[in-house]
A and B are shown apart, each in its own frame.
Chain A
Amino acid sequence: MLITEKMYRGFKDQFADIYQFLLFSVHIFRKIISFRRQRQARTLVLLRQILFTGFEALPLISFLALSIGGLIIIQGYNILENFGQSNLVFVILVTVVIRELSAILTALIVIARSGTAISTELGNMVINNEINLLLSLGISPVSYLVVSRVVGVVVALITLTIYFNLAALLGGWLFSTLFYPINFNYFFTQLFQQLAVTDIIISVLKSIFFGIGIALISSYQGLKVNIASTEVPQRTIKAVVSSIVFVVFADILITAIFYLL
């Protein structure tokens, strides 16, 4: 087979896959709109998804955020005090942590924990006939399994991002007190002077998009498992890679849109 022909087939498969994914996503969105139906069964899945993706990731997120906030303060002070602009450390904390890092780092952790979990779980459900069982009960696997997971991951991601921001700012303050005894009030007054409502909105908006992307991609890959259990890790790897690529691109896009506006 010619290389060009191989490449053509590769692209064709890729595009077919993307097209299928888009159809899948559209279907899910339509289901999300009618989410109120079948409330009872889904609420349980939803709550457990939030518990797993959100609450159980809280220690890790807090630890990461505290350290990141602290590190930014340390590095920021070191650089900025040479310029006599150590006040700018708040600007950096706001732009770097709240606008950028909080959403993307939380998303990466959620990919690592929940993205893999979702695709593995759904993949195993396919192999164990559980998807067929749902179908036989007249339950759409897509709306029962995926919709709740998408909503759950989005809610958990937004919440985690808020906690991340909080922990990072607290971490920043804690570390800055190591260098200079900065008054808690002064630190947060300065910070809130720099913080705009749009910063928080960007942060939340990003986590919404990231959450939707991660949950959709992971679910799609999980459900694409066919018969063999060896497909599960393969699909999980694909889910992780695609999710990371998606998150980075979405981040760039959202940031660009906000800078253009």
Chain B
Amino acid sequence: MKFKFKHTDKIVGFFLFTALVVLILSFVVIALSQKILVKKYEFQTRFKDAVGLSSTTVLKFKGFEIGKIKDFNLNEENLIDARIVVYEEYRNKIVVNSVINKSSNPLTGKSSLEFLQGPDWKDILPEGEYIPSLSMPEGQKLLEENIIQKEGDVIASVLTNIDNILYNLNQDNNADKGVIFRLLYNLANSSEVLNKDLNRMYELMGTMNTELQLTTGLLQETLISTRTTLENYQDPEGLLVKMIDPDRTDLITPLSQSLNQLNENLVQLDELLDFLNSRTPEFSTIILEGKNSLLAVQKTLEGINNNPLIRRGIPDDSKATDNNSKLRPKDF
């Protein structure tokens, strides 16, 4: 105790000094790691929305962090005006006709900014100028006119995104590590089942077809015999006619008219059956399409089911138990 009182000033001095050093060091490290002290060049850009943007969003060029977003706000035209700073060492990469692409990672909801360099590497864009983004017509135009290298870089950034997702999914001891394989496995399973069902459907359709054809044949036969009968009737020279209806006015002519009408109808029915017969392949197509839609739905459902962010998002309905009822019998 006496030691402490004798050397109070030294102990306290050391205590405070060390803390001060720690504090200053941390400020320095922060400044270095976040490039606070590096000279920065400011540029303007504009986006359709600010989804995923934050004050820590960085601007990348070919995977290198060349700058970051400084601030952004909603302007009168409901577009996002953003200010971007570029570190000194990458300042010369900012050339005329460059574009910024904002792409989002659907899993983290974070956006990354990709810098797409213009064609002329020597035509440096002055500080404070506007760099269009791909979400704006100016940027789209540059893309359409092939002024910027659209394919490579855009696809590369998409691939990077996919890569990110895969990386995130496979990282660490992730419970969802095997999600893609499980998804594929499930898909294979379900398509197998569907295939089986479809095969049965095809069989069914085949039977249906044959039966339809059979029915049509029968119908045609009936028609032919009916026609013969009618023909017979059309010229009734027989005794019966003479006996029953010598003038043909009371019975024969109306019957003949009815039969003629029936004949016409039968021809139409025949045509309808022919039409139906010819449509059978289209039914198959519809069923096939139905199958595809079902597959798509299944995929989506599985995707949702496996999505780590949504899964278990809907809680089970827990049944409330009445604890008191356990304490006493009901008839108490």
Which positions in A face B, CB cutoff 8 Å? 44, 47-48, 50-51, 54-55, 58, 81-86, 155, 158-159, 162-163, 166, 180, 188-189, 192-193, 195-197, 200, 204
Contact = CB atoms under 8 A, between A and B. Distances in A.
Given A162-B22, A192-B30, 5 more contacts: A51-B12, A82-B308, A83-B308, A84-B308, A193-B34
Nearest to B55: A196
Interface string B1-33: 000110011011001100100110011011101
A192 B29 contact: yes
A149 to B, nearest CB: 14
B106 to A, nearest CB: 13
Interface residues of B, number: 31
B19 A84 contact: no
Given A193-B34, A200-B23, A84 B16 contact: no
B175 A82 contact: yes
A86 B169 CA distance: 11
B318 interface: no
Indicate the member of A58, A82, A84 with the most B CB atoms within 10 Å. A84
B15 A50 contact: yes
B176 A84 contact: yes
Given A192-B29, A192-B34, A193-B33, A85 B108 contact: yes
A84 B174 contact: yes
Q: At the interface, is chain B mostly helix, strand, loop or mixed?
A: helix
Interface centre among A83, A86, A158, A180, by most B CB within 10 Å?
Answer: A83
A166 B25 CA distance: 11
Contacts of A48: 5, 8
B59 to A, nearest CB: 15
25 contacts: A47-B12, A48-B8, A50-B15, A50-B16, A51-B15, A54-B12, A54-B16, A55-B15, A58-B15, A83-B308, A83-B309, A84-B172, A85-B168, A86-B171, A159-B16, A159-B19, A162-B22, A189-B33, A192-B26, A192-B34, A196-B34, A197-B36, A200-B23, A200-B26, A204-B23
B313 to A, nearest CB: 12
Interface string B158-182: 0000000000110111111000000
Contact of A195 (B4, B5, B30, B308): B30
A159 B18 CA distance: 9
B101 to A, nearest CB: 23
A248 to B, nearest CB: 25
A143 B5 CA distance: 22
Interface in B277-332: 308-309
Contact of A51 (B8, B172, B175): B8
